[in-house]
Chains A and B, each alone.
Chain A
Amino acid sequence: MNPFLPEIRRLLRTPATWLLLILLVAACVLFVVVSPQSTPSPSQSVNLAVTVTYSSSYVFSVYTFDGAGVPVGGAQVHITLETPNSTLPPVGSVSGFTSSAGFSSLSLMVPPAVYYAVYSVDSNGRSAVIGVELPVPQIGKIEPGPGTFTLVQVGDFSLTPNLVVAFPTPSGFALSGLSVSYYINESGQGVSGPSSNLTGDVGPLATMAMRFQFSLPPGASSGFPIVFQLRNGSGAILASQSFDLGSVVAGYSGAAPSGEILSTWIQWVEFLVLAFGVLMGYVAYGRDRISGALEPVLAQPVSRVQVLYARYVAAAVMIAGGVSASVVFLAAWIGLSAGISTPASLVVAVWGSVLWEGLVILALVMLLSQLSMSHITVLGGGLTLAAVLSLFWKDVTSVVGDFAKVPSVTQTTSTWQGTVGLLSPARIVANPAGWVLNTQTPNGGDLLSISPNPVLAWVALVVWLSLPLVALALCARYRD
């Protein structure tokens, strides 16, 4: 006798299941409905999407649009760059108005560094504000070479490179006969700039900054390789590093009042589903395991593995039901109330991401129930795990940030559509080629961005996807 159907019937007849399901959906609905900012009519909202590039200065490509995706022209956009230290004054700000097509390009000439960018937009009484951290555009590093020279750091890839030569010795270091060369292509040919001699004592700071002036090579309008070499007096290369120089995407952000709410909403749903997974694991398995009520079940003509998997599947069905109801409600709400066009693929992506987290936590709670015979340990441990997953695994936030913020008509679409995270099996299925390497995740939250190594990324993915099976297998092998 296969116990799957009996277990599903059992859970359906358990009042706690329905209570939890109702609480889950009600909490989700309540959060959206009572939120005043979540219900702007399409024409009442204004949204902002910004792409930041750095090429000798920060260039902000701004696009403003309303809740229906219609461009908003004549909107005033104000951008302020602040240092991470909030006690210091802003390093710069710029304002401008968008064209009738909703676009505007604003630039700020400030040194590249880590900034906190505050974007605001005003249009006929409608406004939106968002803050986002801008990383340093790019930092290059030359690996150790012979001799005592260990580091050449390039802090600026503009057309006037700001080269910093760093040494490990804390005290003064006499330099003589060293030079830094650069070439415009990898083969060392093409346009070569003048060598600058590094001579003298660099002092206790052990760094030396130089600026280089050179012209773009013919045809190199949007990016080209450049090679830096550190040579000694006899011309031998001590260290070398090449970089792709050109237009560098420094950051990205988009903002909308409704978008922010939706993003928060999904974070909320994510945690609710995780908590729901914990409670369903407890109701479906842990509670009976701890109280001994599982024993009469094991005495029936079913194997313990069947019981384990059947209870897992039954609880998973309930979680899928709860997640489906919540996400469908979200999609409908966005479509009907906020008026934002929601691609079906993204609805599926959000659904898959949240559901998978629920299934993972469910298996972990069942394993916890197997190992511990304490109600408090299982529930407390499960909820702690849920909180950890919710706080540190940012993928869902990232996905939903895109989901909520980016309309289907902007030029940034290609960027976020390529973003696939570990928690998003549905997205991987939808776009198997796009997930492996994505270090430019719009919101910086993609787990894969920590590992541009495809092998590690695949390993991490396999671990994440196999976690429920591993937990259940450990559960099945457990002996009293």
Chain B
Amino acid sequence: MLEFRDVSKRFGRSRRDALHRLTLTFSEGEVLGLVGLNGAGKTTTIRIAAGVILTSGGDVVVEGKSITTDKAQASRSIGWVPETPAHDPRASLSRLCNYYADLRGDHGSTRARDLLSEWGVLQFEGRAFGTLSLGERKRFALAVAGVGDPAYYLLDEVFNGLDPLALTQVRNWILQGKKTQKGFLVSSHQLREVQAISDRIAFLHEGRLIRCLDAREIPSSSRKRLQIAFDPIDANAMRILGSFGEVEQGRGGVTLTGEGVDPAAINMSLVRAGYSVRRLEAADPELETFFLHLIGEQS
């Protein structure tokens, strides 16, 4: 189990806590999403757990080992993927990997090389880190995080800068990791991704934990917006849709807003009337709606 125990952090002479008395836990085999606006404290939370910065108060305990007093042991169970990976820009990937393996007491093992291969950056192993693109750096960071085969991964905005292929790979890797009892703390602004993979979601706002819910508990908003693309768009179709809510025609389709709109019922009505439905999706993810609602409450 990875526990945040009353963790606070204040930077320099700032008057405000970047993180205020955070208490949170997550376990092996669990994915905990961490969402919040910019400056909410997500990155600070992850950097503290990674041992990169020190707390101003409280402690992070990993499998019973304090990150403050027993850092070396606690960090053994942690793999960290920063939002913007930074390594010696002149060093080659293989040299960096060997160095991190060396620090983990894994000198000379082939695991690092296997991880480079797994994340599709083995062909760059002779290249300097500074020459990689953002996506390649992210994938390299994912490889480095796995060097010690840690039990917990701390992923900070891991989806940023990844191409769709890598995005899918990361998503599958997390879901696969859950099955092998790895724990993941995932911070992201991409709420749809967070919602898709998380077991629980913690909401941070201005350094404080304002809610932590089971992903299934996130309530659905009764008023929804659907974006529908179909052919042909004519007056009859607008009349059918109008019976479900307010209709607004836009480029390539219409937007339907209403209380308790049921996508399945709308789709069926259009198809039965002879329309060809090409796309029908929620305009706003439920998590985003809920999150904005929460923020609004706090403000």
Residue picked from A3, A14, A479, most chain B C-beta under 10 Å: A479
CB distance from A388 to the nearest CB of B (A): 29
Given contacts A301-B72, A302-B72, A304-B71, A480 and B86 within 8 Å (CB-CB): no
Partner of B73, one of A3, A15, A299, A301: A301
Whether B103 contacts A295 by the Cβ 8 Å rule is: no
Whether B87 contacts A303 by the Cβ 8 Å rule is: no
B12 in contact (CB, < 8 A): yes
B197 in contact (CB, < 8 A): no
Whether A479 contacts B104 by the Cβ 8 Å rule is: no
Whether B148 contacts A301 by the Cβ 8 Å rule is: yes
Whether B95 contacts A296 by the Cβ 8 Å rule is: no
Q: Which of B1-40 contact A (CB under 8 A)?
A: 11-12
CB distance from A288 to the nearest CB of B (A): 6
A293 in contact (CB, < 8 A): yes
A300 in contact (CB, < 8 A): yes
Given contacts A13-B95, A293-B87, A295-B86, A1 and B104 within 8 Å (CB-CB): yes
CB distance from B235 to the nearest CB of A (A): 60
CB distance from B101 to the nearest CB of A (A): 9
CB distance from B81 to the nearest CB of A (A): 10
Partner of B103, one of A3, A16, A288, A292: A3
Whether A303 contacts B89 by the Cβ 8 Å rule is: no
CB distance from A184 to the nearest CB of B (A): 70
- The docked-state distance in angstroms from the alpha carbon of A10 to that of B94 is 12
- A-B pairs with CB below 8 Å: how many? 83
Residue picked from B51, B73, B89, B91, most chain A C-beta under 10 Å: B51
A6 in contact (CB, < 8 A): yes
CB distance from A109 to the nearest CB of B (A): 69
Whether A298 contacts B51 by the Cβ 8 Å rule is: yes
B84 partner residues in chain A, CB cutoff 8 A: 292
A141 in contact (CB, < 8 A): no
Given contacts A299-B78, A299-B80, A480-B11, A10 and B52 within 8 Å (CB-CB): no
**Chain A residue with minimal CB distance to B73?**
A301
- The docked-state distance in angstroms from the alpha carbon of A299 to that of B104 is 11
B88 in contact (CB, < 8 A): yes
A463 in contact (CB, < 8 A): no
A9 in contact (CB, < 8 A): yes
Q: Which of B73-112 contact A (CB under 8 A)?
A: 73-76, 78, 80, 82, 84-91, 95, 99-100, 102-105, 107
CB distance from A410 to the nearest CB of B (A): 53
Whether A288 contacts B88 by the Cβ 8 Å rule is: yes
- The docked-state distance in angstroms from the alpha carbon of A300 to that of B47 is 12
A299 partner residues in chain B, CB cutoff 8 A: 50-52, 75, 78, 80
Given contacts A296-B82, A296-B85, A296-B87, A301 and B11 within 8 Å (CB-CB): no
A297 in contact (CB, < 8 A): yes
Whether A480 contacts B104 by the Cβ 8 Å rule is: no
CB distance from B199 to the nearest CB of A (A): 24
Contact with B along A230-274 (1 / 0, CB 8 A): 000000000000000000000000000000000000000000000
Q: Which of A271-323 contact B (CB under 8 A)?
A: 287-288, 291-293, 295-304, 306
B142 in contact (CB, < 8 A): no
**Chain B residue with minimal CB distance to A6?**
B102
Whether A296 contacts B100 by the Cβ 8 Å rule is: yes
Residue picked from B53, B71, B78, most chain A C-beta under 10 Å: B71
A306 partner residues in chain B, CB cutoff 8 A: 72
- The docked-state distance in angstroms from the alpha carbon of A304 to that of B52 is 9
Whether A295 contacts B107 by the Cβ 8 Å rule is: no
B144 partner residues in chain A, CB cutoff 8 A: 296
- The docked-state distance in angstroms from the alpha carbon of A16 to that of B95 is 14
- The docked-state distance in angstroms from the alpha carbon of A229 to that of B135 is 90
CB distance from B94 to the nearest CB of A (A): 10
A14 partner residues in chain B, CB cutoff 8 A: 91
- The docked-state distance in angstroms from the alpha carbon of A296 to that of B144 is 9
Partner of A291, one of B51, B89, B95, B102: B89
Whether B71 contacts A296 by the Cβ 8 Å rule is: no
Whether A1 contacts B105 by the Cβ 8 Å rule is: yes
Given contacts A6-B102, A288-B88, A480-B54, A301 and B82 within 8 Å (CB-CB): no
CB distance from B4 to the nearest CB of A (A): 17
- The docked-state distance in angstroms from the alpha carbon of A295 to that of B50 is 9
Whether A6 contacts B99 by the Cβ 8 Å rule is: yes
B103 partner residues in chain A, CB cutoff 8 A: 1, 3, 6, 297, 300-302
Whether A301 contacts B104 by the Cβ 8 Å rule is: yes
**Chain B residue with minimal CB distance to A304?**
B71
- The docked-state distance in angstroms from the alpha carbon of A6 to that of B96 is 11
Whether A295 contacts B75 by the Cβ 8 Å rule is: no
- The docked-state distance in angstroms from the alpha carbon of A298 to that of B87 is 12
- The docked-state distance in angstroms from the alpha carbon of A306 to that of B72 is 9
Given contacts A291-B86, A293-B87, A306-B72, A300 and B100 within 8 Å (CB-CB): yes
**Chain A residue with minimal CB distance to B148?**
A301
- The docked-state distance in angstroms from the alpha carbon of A3 to that of B103 is 6
A15 partner residues in chain B, CB cutoff 8 A: 90
B105 partner residues in chain A, CB cutoff 8 A: 1, 301
B99 partner residues in chain A, CB cutoff 8 A: 6, 9-10, 13
CB distance from A148 to the nearest CB of B (A): 57
- The docked-state distance in angstroms from the alpha carbon of A246 to that of B69 is 66
B56 partner residues in chain A, CB cutoff 8 A: 479
CB distance from B278 to the nearest CB of A (A): 46
B52 partner residues in chain A, CB cutoff 8 A: 295, 298-299
Given contacts A1-B105, A288-B88, A296-B144, A302 and B75 within 8 Å (CB-CB): yes
Contact with B along A1-32 (1 / 0, CB 8 A): 10101100110011110000000000000000
Contact with A along B122-135 (1 / 0, CB 8 A): 00000000000000
Residue picked from A14, A293, A300, A479, most chain B C-beta under 10 Å: A300
Contact with B along A135-157 (1 / 0, CB 8 A): 00000000000000000000000
A303 partner residues in chain B, CB cutoff 8 A: 71-72
- The docked-state distance in angstroms from the alpha carbon of A352 to that of B99 is 32
**Chain A residue with minimal CB distance to B9?**
A480
CB distance from A318 to the nearest CB of B (A): 16
CB distance from A10 to the nearest CB of B (A): 5
CB distance from A96 to the nearest CB of B (A): 64
Whether A479 contacts B88 by the Cβ 8 Å rule is: no
Whether A296 contacts B72 by the Cβ 8 Å rule is: no
Given A293-B86, A299-B75; 16 other pairs, CB 8 A cutoff: A6-B102, A10-B99, A15-B90, A291-B89, A296-B85, A296-B100, A297-B100, A299-B50, A299-B52, A301-B71, A301-B74, A302-B71, A302-B103, A479-B56, A480-B11, A480-B53
A sample of 7 cross-chain residue pairs with beta-carbon separation below 8 angstroms, ordered by A number, consists of A293-B87, A296-B80, A297-B103, A299-B52, A304-B51, A304-B71, A480-B53
Give residues in A with beta carbon < 8 Å to B.
Answer: 1, 3, 5-6, 9-10, 13-16, 287-288, 291-293, 295-304, 306, 479-480
Question: Which 10 residue pairs across A and B have the least CB separation, nearest first?
Answer: A292-B86, A6-B102, A301-B76, A1-B105, A300-B103, A299-B80, A301-B75, A303-B71, A299-B50, A295-B52
